[in-house]
Chains A and B, each alone.
Chain A
Amino acid sequence: MKRTTLLSAGTLLASMMASGAFADTICGANTGEAATGAPIKVGGIHGNAAPGDFSSSTTAANAYFDCVNANGGINGRPIQYLVENDQWNPELAAQAAAKLLKDENVVAIVGNGSFVEMAVNAPTYKEQNIMAMASACAVSECFESSNIVSTNQGPLSSTVGAAQYMVEELAAQSIVCIGLAIPNVGNWSCGAMEEYMTSKGLTGASVLLNPASPDVNSSLLEAVASGSDTILVNLPAGLAIAFMKAAEEQGMVDSYKWASSTPLYDQSVPSAVGSAWDGKMYINAELTPWDKGGPDATNWLAVLDAHAPDAPRDTFSQSGFLSAKFFVDTLLKMDPAQLDDRAAVTTAIKAISGYTSDLMCGPYYVGEADRHMPNHAGTMVVVKNGGFETVRDCYEYDSPYFAPIFENEKALGLR
């Protein structure tokens, strides 16, 4: 599905009325006047087709840009946000990037959410000297490229964070990570968790599941055979729920400690997993919990209410909103004459350092580096009473994997 957002008179009027009704949105320069100048073209790529829908990141970014355009834009110029759908197909991902970068000449890519897009396009972004401020990343290439920076954490950080909580607060001695048998997703993230456990003198193991297999029972038995006391589920929500159901069937809910990476932090999960898991499943949240409050969290909900009332309010939505906000803040600080210059915008994005938000635990920065993972601190929640309850507020993860990232932060004076 392609949603090219052109600022037509209709949407302009609607958004102006909306911003009147929801006076609490704070967007860009916040002048309350619609931007009318020549548009600044910005791209975004999400994956939305049969296996899953990552579009909420670009939807939230779009909502924020709409709000900015209704509030003075970037020095009076509106942002024209062009969104493409890669449908989980690497060819479509490459074509989408070709369209945005070569045909439309966008100055930056913001709010990306996909499994395949980053792996395919990382070399293109580098070659074209454009920055992608992604929001919903899941593969290693997304965090280990010079021209992509993501607001979310991805499976690696989230898994390590969950393991750290289980070790520090629930005295886990041995953890088995259940991941997908896909090298740049499961092996990558579960491998880092094993590394973390080894660094603490504890034992970690991985059980990797082929997504084509209908059978999760055998993997469950494999996990049991590993002799661990804690099972860490690091799977997409659908598969994770199937795995948990099999565990429930075998009466294993109470005999193990349970944890999960972020995919299970989704509003429909508590009712889908059922009451057996109440107070049992500890889940890592990459950004702050939806209901935590704070100026940015309130603003995020207000912007969605005003500009995308039907959009889901989930982690990827927060992440997309935040990427868009950081991007707009950067553009507003730039020399207005350079806004159409891709290289200048890239330089400005790479210069981002020490941005903060109550939606994120740590600071946001980019910097000139061959890898970017600004977000490596999160929150732990537990499934409780049909919802979630925070059990540990913002804490920073610590694992050998983060060593080069900490180096970057030292160099930027953030540590």
Chain B
Amino acid sequence: MRAVLISIGIWGALCLALALLVAWGKPAPVIGMFVVSGMAVGSLYALGGIGLVVLYRATGVLNLASGAVGMASAMVAWQLVQWGIFALVSWILGLALGVLLAVAYCRVITPYMAWREPVVKAVASLGFALVILGTVSFLWPDDPRRFELPTDKAFVTILGLRVTATRLMVVAVSILAVIVISVVLVRTRIGLHMRALANDRRIASLIGIPVVRVETMAWAMAGLLSAFTGLMFANLVRLEPVVITFLIIPCIAAAIAGRLQSLPDVLIGGIAMGVIESLLTLSDPLKSIRPVAPFVIASVVLLVTNRGRRLTFAGED
């Protein structure tokens, strides 16, 4: 808990400093609106980052295809709604597709790559992303689409900005996911198995951990998160296959904010990135390149967290 408070303190101070820097002299209500708007975007980065970190901690794979999986889920859910299928059923089927795709990748592809180093595993998942993206672009014509949820209509006003229930749901689910997954990984037997597996697959299997079952569960969980993220992106960003697929790259930045380890840090860091990105709108020279914020922040995080190390030694990944 203390670590979480420290994180909040550091990220909060960073946002505050930036707010003072770029928004000096701007009226406070305006800044408040940009902060709230940024938190809404940041929570999307965070949600995507959480999905990445969960899978990475459990299996050692950084899944670049998770955006594509989410995108496929969103497209299918949208299509089913268009065909007049009851909305709730459509969403559940969309989420199920995400789980299915993730599990299929886990069972068919990953066993052949188990011996590869983490970077190669990560880069290879791009192949899966391209397969999904190509299939979706082939099946659906390029039309403007809008993915609606009933929660879009309800809203609360925070600091002068309307925040829809969908956005609140993203924040709530992110926090819930952080708590539940942290507890599962630390307190339960399956969580222990997952961590052992991520640490050393060979030794884990030697000491009798049911590797395939544990891995499948981890991928299914990550697939569900990807699919949910995809639906949220479709609703809150836009339902364009390429856009959702490659939103994974800023989400990686959020994952880096938690050093690919700490879920609370991903959440706090991701939200802070969104806020900083949004605040940059107030700066004339920087506003056209404000999406650069997550990347700059992630690079700084990587540099800072590795500052204690002088030189690395082979084998110490």
Touch between chains A and B, by CB atoms below 8 Å: yes
A residues within 8 Å of B by Cβ? Answer: 48-53, 181, 208, 210, 212-215, 217-219, 221-222, 225, 237-242, 245, 249-251, 266, 268-269, 272-274, 312
> Nearest chain-A residue to B141 (Cβ)?
A53
A53–B38 alpha-carbon span in the complex (Å): 32
Of B101-109, B200-208, B242-250, which stretch is located at the interface?
B242-250
Q: Is there an interface contact between A273 and B146, defined as CB atoms closer than 8 Å?
A: yes
Q: Is there an interface contact between B142 and A272, defined as CB atoms closer than 8 Å?
A: no
B118 within 8 A of A: no
* CB contact under 8 A between A221 and B33, given known A50-B133, A272-B144: yes
* CB contact under 8 A between A242 and B237, given known A215-B277, A249-B152: yes
Our pick among A210, A225, A241 for the contact of B144 (Cβ within 8 Å) is A241
Of the candidates B142, B289, B290, the one having the most CB atoms from chain A within 10 angstroms of its own CB is B142
Our pick among A49, A214, A312 for the contact of B237 (Cβ within 8 Å) is A214
> Nearest chain-B residue to A243 (Cβ)?
B238
Shortest CB distance B168–A (Å): 12
Q: Is there an interface contact between B162 and A250, defined as CB atoms closer than 8 Å?
A: yes
Dominant secondary structure of chain B at its interface with chain A: helix
* CB contact under 8 A between A218 and B281, given known A213-B290, A273-B146: yes
- Interface size in chain B (residues, C-beta < 8 A): 41
Residues of B within 8 A of A269 (CB): 144
Q: Is there an interface contact between A218 and B278, defined as CB atoms closer than 8 Å?
A: yes
* CB contact under 8 A between A238 and B240, given known A218-B278, A249-B152: yes
Q: Is there an interface contact between B289 and A210, defined as CB atoms closer than 8 Å?
A: yes
Residues of A within 8 A of B143 (CB): 266, 268, 272
A137–B281 alpha-carbon span in the complex (Å): 30
B268 within 8 A of A: no
B145 within 8 A of A: yes
B37 within 8 A of A: yes
> Nearest chain-B residue to A269 (Cβ)?
B144
Residues of B within 8 A of A221 (CB): 30, 33-34, 37, 161, 281
A273–B145 alpha-carbon span in the complex (Å): 8
* CB contact under 8 A between A214 and B30, given known A53-B142, A250-B162: no
Our pick among A51, A210, A213, A272 for the contact of B145 (Cβ within 8 Å) is A272
Our pick among B146, B243, B274 for the contact of A241 (Cβ within 8 Å) is B146
Q: Is there an interface contact between A274 and B146, defined as CB atoms closer than 8 Å?
A: yes
Q: Is there an interface contact between B145 and A242, defined as CB atoms closer than 8 Å?
A: no
For chain B, residues 135 to 159, give those with C-beta under 8 angstroms from any C-beta of chain A. Answer: 137, 141-146, 148, 152, 155
Q: 9 A-B Cβ contacts within 8 A?
A: A214-B291, A217-B41, A221-B37, A238-B240, A238-B243, A240-B144, A241-B146, A249-B164, A266-B143
A225–B291 alpha-carbon span in the complex (Å): 20
